[in-house]
């Protein structure tokens, strides 16, 4: 790789051992992908997990004196003040989350604790080169905003934040951003939930960059968030295109780079129905709780739930996971207080894949997100997956259809 004098100085340790280690790993990654040079980034997002390996690395880099040249936003762990007030969790949980907080603060990260920064707190511009980890974030910033990031891991995104550079390969290059699978959507796409199910068709779509044809002209930010999140639950997708919608797919020629697609896949209503049947527990049963916000819910979704409940008290607890930004707005607008009185809790800065939810072990919840159902399963928490309206109704009645 051809390195600049600044990059060579980093590699030789002139900017400290932490920066040296970060650059050493990045050069190794670049060489493995055949990158010819490093290029500067302007933004980053680190998908911290508040788990053993993540905490080990963050503390190691902080103790080596590393500082983020580009301050990254970070994924959620869980909100210590919120759960302390409710007397949930134990001291071991609190200690680990506090250590994670301290390490990333020392590194100079922007402590957003939000998995959807691409919607409202860390939004890149078209063509901007960035380093984003988080499974729903990379496809959103590549596909919806037309910025450029490879599918970074939490560690490589952190190293990019520390050095300010990434190796130039993959989706940073024009030729690698073209679609190669035409996905003709014949299914009725009426709500954000349908985009969850479309994203879960990864087995049928196959590996590559899909170009979706036949989707509505207007698609909500929540639907786009759901599509990317579930594409990376059912498969591994760094990017997708939507014909006549996303920036680099204003025509078939533009989307495919004047080439024919490698294959054509058709998605029907039956496909979506089959996917739901495969991934969800059977319905028509009592549930113990409802959980939404994986990825984090928007203020519009909080408002929708409030309107849907229409003052009815829940028979089962509801947890709505949001960013601190959305929680603040919900507080100001009165949603937090009004929903809390009905049994619905708006929880900031928290992920469902955290030990703080251990008291739900062995219970069955309802959610509209396959991703929300997927991660807590390893913690002994199961879900019935249904559209949002059905989920809200289940929390009100205590039973899901």
Token pair, residue 252, equals 């078939």
Let me know: does 228 contact 143? Beta carbons within 8 Å: yes
Average pLDDT over residues 227-239: 96
Average pLDDT over residues 346-355: 96
Residues 23 and 160 in one domain: yes
C-alpha dihedral over 234, 239, 242, 246, to 10 degrees?
A: 150
102 Cβ contact partners less than 8 Å away, ≥ 6 residues apart: none
Residues 237 and 108 in one domain: no
Residues 190 and 122 in one domain: no
- Rounded to whole angstroms, the Cα distance separating 326 from 151 reads 26
Share of the chain above pLDDT 90, in %: 99
pLDDT at 148: 98
CA triplet 275, 278, 282: central angle to 5 degrees?
A: 120
Measure Cα distances from 71 to 88, 108, 110 in Å: 31, 6, 6
Show which of 174, 192, 220 is a domain's final residue.
Answer: 174
Residues 24 and 123 in one domain: yes
| pTM value > 0.95 | yes
Q: List, for residues 14-31, the tens digit of each pLDDT value.
A: 999 999 999 999 999 999
pLDDT at 91: 92
pLDDT at 89: 87
pLDDT at 72: 98
Let me know: does 274 contact 351? Beta carbons within 8 Å: no
Average pLDDT of the chain to the nearest whole number: 97
Residues 294 and 206 in one domain: no
Residues 54 and 137 in one domain: yes
Residues 231 and 139 in one domain: no
Show which of 151, 174, 197 is a domain's final residue.
Answer: 174
Residues 232 and 317 in one domain: no
Q: List, for residues 302-328, the tens digit of each pLDDT value.
A: 999 999 999 999 999 999 999 999 999
Rg (CA), the chain: 21
CA triplet 95, 99, 104: central angle to 5 degrees?
A: 155
Over the range 36-51, which residues count as b (16 or more CB within 10 Å of their CB) and which as e? eebeebebbbbbbbbe
Number of independent structural domains in the chain: 3
Phi, psi of 246 (to 5 degrees): -75, 155
Residues 20 and 158 in one domain: yes
- Rounded to whole angstroms, the Cα distance separating 283 from 41 reads 47
Residues 71 and 138 in one domain: yes
CATH number at residue 321: 3.30.499.10
The range of the structural domain enclosing residue 370 comes to: 280-400
Average pLDDT over residues 146-159: 97
Q: List, for residues 80-119, the tens digit of each pLDDT value.
A: 999 999 999 899 999 999 999 999 999 999 999 999 999 9
Average pLDDT over residues 188-201: 98
Let me know: does 210 contact 179? Beta carbons within 8 Å: yes
Let me know: does 348 contact 325? Beta carbons within 8 Å: no
Average pLDDT over residues 167-180: 98
Residues 47 and 105 in one domain: yes
Residues 13 and 162 in one domain: yes
Share of the chain above pLDDT 70, in %: 100
Residue of 32, 235, 49 whose CA lies nearest to 139: 235
Show which of 174, 200, 221 is a domain's final residue.
Answer: 174
């Amino acid at each position: 790789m051809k390195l600049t004098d600044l990059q060579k100085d980093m590699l030789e340790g002139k900017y400290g051992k932490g920066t040296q280690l970060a650059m050493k790993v990045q050069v190794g990654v670049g060489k493995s992908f055949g990158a010819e040079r490093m290029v500067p980034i302007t933004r980053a997002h680190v998908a911290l997990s508040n788990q053993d390996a993540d905490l080990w690395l963050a503390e190691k880099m902080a103790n080596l004196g590393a500082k983020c040249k580009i301050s990254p936003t970070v994924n959620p762990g869980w909100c210590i003040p919120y759960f302390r007030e409710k007397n949930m969790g134990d001291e071991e949980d609190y200690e680990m989350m506090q250590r994670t907080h301290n390490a990333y603060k020392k590194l100079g990260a922007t402590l957003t604790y939000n998995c959807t920064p691409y919607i409202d707190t860390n939004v890149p511009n078209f063509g901007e080169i960035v380093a984003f980890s988080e499974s729903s974030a990379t496809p959103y910033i590549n596909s919806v905003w037309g910025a450029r990031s490879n599918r970074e891991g939490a560690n490589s995104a952190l190293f990019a934040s520390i050095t300010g550079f990434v190796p130039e390969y993959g989706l940073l290059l024009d030729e690698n951003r073209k679609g190669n699978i035409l996905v003709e959507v014949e299914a009725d796409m009426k709500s954000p939930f349908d985009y969850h199910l479309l994203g879960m068709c990864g087995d049928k779509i196959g590996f590559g960059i899909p170009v979706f044809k036949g989707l509505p002209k207007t698609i909500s930010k929540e639907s786009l968030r759901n599509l990317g999140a579930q594409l990376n639950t059912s498969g591994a997708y760094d990017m997708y295109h939507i014909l006549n919608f996303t920036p680099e797919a204003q025509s078939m020629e533009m989307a495919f780079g004047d080439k024919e697609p490698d294959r054509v896949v058709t998605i029907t209503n039956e496909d979506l129905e089959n996917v739901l049947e495969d991934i969800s527990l059977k319905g028509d049963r009592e549930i113990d709780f409802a959980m939404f916000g994986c990825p984090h819910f928007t203020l519009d979704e909080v408002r929708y739930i409030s309107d849907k409940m229409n003052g009815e008290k829940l028979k089962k607890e509801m947890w709505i996971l949001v960013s601190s930004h959305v929680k603040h707005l919900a507080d100001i607008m009165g949603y937090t207080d009004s929903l809390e009185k009905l049994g619905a809790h708006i929880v900031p800065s928290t992920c469902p894949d955290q030990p703080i939810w251990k008291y739900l072990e062995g219970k069955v919840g309802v959610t509209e997100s396959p991703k929300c159902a997927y991660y807590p399963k390893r913690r002994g928490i199961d879900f019935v997956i249904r559209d949002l309206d059905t989920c809200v109704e289940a929390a009100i009645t205590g039973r899901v259809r």
